């Protein structure tokens, strides 16, 4: 099996190395990921600018990696519309491991999810992996992801979905002692993970500026993806590309 690994945090992010290293146990892996941070770009693609692609020194032996001057959706789109010849195109797209949960309303903005949605346009299975954390001031615990990502990937590869659906996996930020297990069929919470507030301020030049301030929420609906990771579970659910039938 040929596996394409991408992300939205950029090719130097730690999460993509974990995902590529794990994916290598299931097939031939190639990494094509943005050269820069692309969080919250959703399904954005580049139409008018040239995009460089460069071989990138990557920390996983046996995995070729390329830094692409585009978005996560660009990485996938280019792969299936020219970078690979017929017969060489990847059989599976994996996106992540994103720093930050992709639950609830945040799914709509996520470029991690955008890469998966692009893969579905070519009838290629896709799985998103995301790691919850609360704020940059708090330690992001990745113990659960590091221990269980291989088991989760093995399980989901063996469970093909109907056309238009991708798997969405979110890991909790907790120690192994606090970890409670896996919850399946989680639905997107009907809120964002962050209580966003836009604050109007004035700078030293007297110009008006709008600043985004965020506070993580502490509660969501029972049965939702967000409440699962808040409670210390791995959340597994599906997300749909709404243009596909």
What DSSP letter does each residue of 105-158 carry, written as one string? THHHH-HHHHHHHHHHTTT--EEEEEE----TTS----HHHHHHHHHHHHHHHT
Q: What is the mean pLDDT of the chain?
A: 95
Which residues, listed in sequence order, are joined to residue 82 by a DSSP beta bridge?
A: none
pLDDT in tens, 149-197: 999 999 999 999 999 999 999 999 999 999 999 999 999 999 998 888 9
User: How far is residue 228's CA from residue 222's CA, in Å, rounded to a whole number?
Assistant: 8
Residue 168 known to bind ligand: no
Least confident of 29-38, 46-55, 102-111, 209-218: 209-218
User: How far is residue 100's CA from residue 108's CA, in Å, rounded to a whole number?
Assistant: 14
Q: Cβ-count burial of 45 within 10 angstroms (0-12 exposed, 13-18 middle, 19+ buried)?
A: middle
Q: What is the pTM of this model?
A: 0.95
Confidence of residue 214 (pLDDT cuts 50, 70, 90): confident
Residue 130 known to bind ligand: no
Which residues, listed in sequence order, are joined to residue 228 by a DSSP beta bridge?
A: none
Spatial contact of 81 and 74, defined as CB atoms under 8 Å apart? no
Domain ranges of the chain: 2-190+220-240
Which residues, listed in sequence order, are joined to residue 99 by a DSSP beta bridge?
A: 131
The residue-averaged pLDDT of 48-62 equals 95
Residue 224 known to bind ligand: no
At residue 137, does pLDDT exceed 60?
Answer: no
Residue 98 known to bind ligand: yes
Structure tokens at 132: 């919850």
In the CATH scheme, what is the code of domain 2-190+220-240?
3.40.1210.10
């Amino acid at each position: 099996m040929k596996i394409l690994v991408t992300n939205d945090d950029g090719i130097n992010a730690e999460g993509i190395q974990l995902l590529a290293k794990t994916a290598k146990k299931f097939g031939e892996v190639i990494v094509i990921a943005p050269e820069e941070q692309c969080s919250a770009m959703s399904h954005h693609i580049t139409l008018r600018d040239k995009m460089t692609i460069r071989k990138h020194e990557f920390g996983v032996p046996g995995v070729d990696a390329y830094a692409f001057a585009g978005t996560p959706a660009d990485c996938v789109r280019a792969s299936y519309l020219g970078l690979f010849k017929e017969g060489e195109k990847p059989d599976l797209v994996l996106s992540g491991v994103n720093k930050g949960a992709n639950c609830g309303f945040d799914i709509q903005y996520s470029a991690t999810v955008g890469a998966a949605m692009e893969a579905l346009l070519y009838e290629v299975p896709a799985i998103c992996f995301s790691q919850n954390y609360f704020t940059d001031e708090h330690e992001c615990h990745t113990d659960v992801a590091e221990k269980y990502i291989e088991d989760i990937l093995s399980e989901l590869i063996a469970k093909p979905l109907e056309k238009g659906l991708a798997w969405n996996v979110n890991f909790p930020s907790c120690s192994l002692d606090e970890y409670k297990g896996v919850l399946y069929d989680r639905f997107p919470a009907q809120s964002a993970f962050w209580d966003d507030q836009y604050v109007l301020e004035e700078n030293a030049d007297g110009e008006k500026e709008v600043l985004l301030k965020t506070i993580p929420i502490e509660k969501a609906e029972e049965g939702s993806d967000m409440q699962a990771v808040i409670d210390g579970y791995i959340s597994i659910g599906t997300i749909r590309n709404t243009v596909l039938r």
